[in-house]
Amino acid sequence: MTRLVILISGRGSNMEALFHAVDAGALPVEFAAVISNRTNAAGLATAAARGITTAVFDHTAFPDRAAFDTALMAEIDRYAPDLVVLAGFMRVLTDAFVTHYAGRLINIHPALLPAFPGLHTHERALAAGVKLHGCTVHFVTPEVDVGPIVIQAAVPVLDDDTPETLAARVLAQEHQIYPQAIRWFAEGRLQITPTGGVRLQPNRPSAVASCVVPALD
């Protein structure tokens, strides 16, 4: 069974969507641990109530980003995950961290990448006047919000949208596509191509959890 470690910083609704998908028999994974960089992340209680091991690594207690990421890596690796899932984890990760988990580190971003990387995506989408907005699941690479795209979902932007109404419409789609992407990973169907895309392989009953990362020359 594919083992996940989930990293959160806040409410954890995307994490909960994964729980629901497992409960519905739609996601063949097990949750090894949920780790937060914030002691007050609401998602910690949600995970603990499910009986999942939780841990807090408070980034403010570390001298710098590298020290925090080194400690976080050591903690994650204790659980020997097949996939590390960023679910609202509000930290920029060091190259060392991202390289260590190459091909097994995945993120969900609330915009149709490459449009609107970074923060405040819904406000920026409204300010830009786009008619479509959405969300993206992608493998994580050192440059923030740039890695190989697994799946996207688009929603219309309505004339009377506020950042809040737009965020809610996008979030409903996040809760659909994150379990779908992780299911594909668990089925061993995601192949990162040499050009930095993701190819979805046909479903094979004997597939094992893996992600093929091209060798670097």
Which of 81, 88, 103, 188 forms a contact with ligand GRF (CB under 6 A)?
88
DSSP 3-state of 50: coil
Q: What residues contact residue 124 under an 8 Å CB cut-off, 6+ apart? A: 111, 116
- The residue (of 113 and 188) whose beta carbon lies closer to ligand GRF is 113
Which of 18, 44, 108, 149 forms a contact with ligand GRF (CB under 6 A)?
108
Q: What is the DSSP secondary-structure string of 94-155?
A: PHHHHHHTTTSEEEEESS-TTSS-SS-HHHHHHHHT-SEEEEEEEE--SSTT-SPEEEEEEE
What is the contact mask toward ligand GRF in residues 169 to 198, using x (rule: CB under 6 A)? --x--x------------------------
φ, ψ of residue 198 to 5 degrees: the values are: -130, 125
Cβ pair 41, 91 in contact under 8 A: no
Closest separation between CB of residue 131 and ligand GRF, Å? 20
The yes-or-no answer on residue 109 being catalytic is yes
Which of 3, 11, 91, 100 forms a contact with ligand GRF (CB under 6 A)?
11
Closest separation between CB of residue 11 and ligand GRF, Å? 4
- Give the gyration radius of the chain's Cα atoms: 17
Q: Does 37 bind ligand GRF (CB under 6 A)?
A: no
Q: How is residue 159 written in tokens?
A: 């004339």
Active-site residues: which are they? Answer: 109
Which residues contribute to the site for ligand GRF (CB under 6 A)? 8, 10-14, 87-88, 108-110, 135, 171, 174
